[in-house]
Structure 1
Amino acid sequence: MGRIEKLQELLQQMPDDSFLRHALALEYIKLNNDKDAKALFEAVLKNEPGYVGSYYHLGKLLERNGETALAIEWYEKGMQQAKAANDQHAYNELQAAYEDLVY
């Protein structure tokens, strides 16, 4: 059984698990399945806005697909969440990605 199948199986048992959704989204990105990856990242952030790592990956996915304005919005939201969580490392990564697009 491959990673995707294993993650899907685990998600059937724990459908709201943010870690599993995030991990599956990353696997989909490896296969250029941005549509399903985007849906998973959005689901993670809807259910758990403090899951800071998903903001960066969703933003990068949107950038690749030419959705720059939307990527900027997600980076901004992620920076707010990272700041609230006092996660300076995540904040710096999100800020760097944001500045690459804005400046």
Structure 2
Amino acid sequence: MDRIEKIKELLKDNPIDSFLRHALALEYIKLEDFTLAQQTFIELLNDDPNYVGSYYHIAKLLESQNEKEKAIFYYEKGMEIAKKLNDRHAYNELQSAYEEYLY
């Protein structure tokens, strides 16, 4: 059983597990299935907007797909959430990537 199948099997028991959904999206990126990766991240963030680590990854994915406005949206939204959660590490990573992307 490959990693995606294992993750999907685990999700059957807990379909809203943010960690597993994040891991699934990362596996889709590895397979270069960017549509499924993006969809998985968006669904995850719609259900769990405080899962701050996913903002960085979806923004990077969108950046790689030349979707500048969407990437900027997720960087900014991620920074907003990280600030709200007082997660300085996540905030700094998002801000650094955001500034590197813009400048």
Between the aligned partners of 1:95 and 1:46, the Cα distance in structure 2 is 21
Q: Determine the structure 1 residue equivalent to 2:101.
A: 101
Question: Over residues 25-50 of structure 1, what are the superposed CA-to-partner deviations in whole Å (9 max), with x where a residue is unaligned?
Answer: 00111110111110110011101110
Identity, in percent, stands at 60
* C-alpha RMSD of the superposition: 0.8
What TM-score comes out, normalization by structure 1 length? 0.96
Deviation at residue 76 of structure 1 after TM alignment: 0.2
CA contact (8 A) 1:68 1:101 kept: no
CA distance in 2, matches of 1:64, 1:84: 27
Query: Could you tell me which residue of structure 2 aligns to residue 68 of structure 1?
Result: 68
Q: What TM-score does the superposition give when structure 2 sets the normalisation length?
A: 0.96
Count of residues in correspondence between the two structures: 103
Q: Which runs of 4+ in 1 moved over 3 A?
A: none
Q: Could you tell me which amino acid in structure 2 is paired with residue 81 of structure 1?
A: I
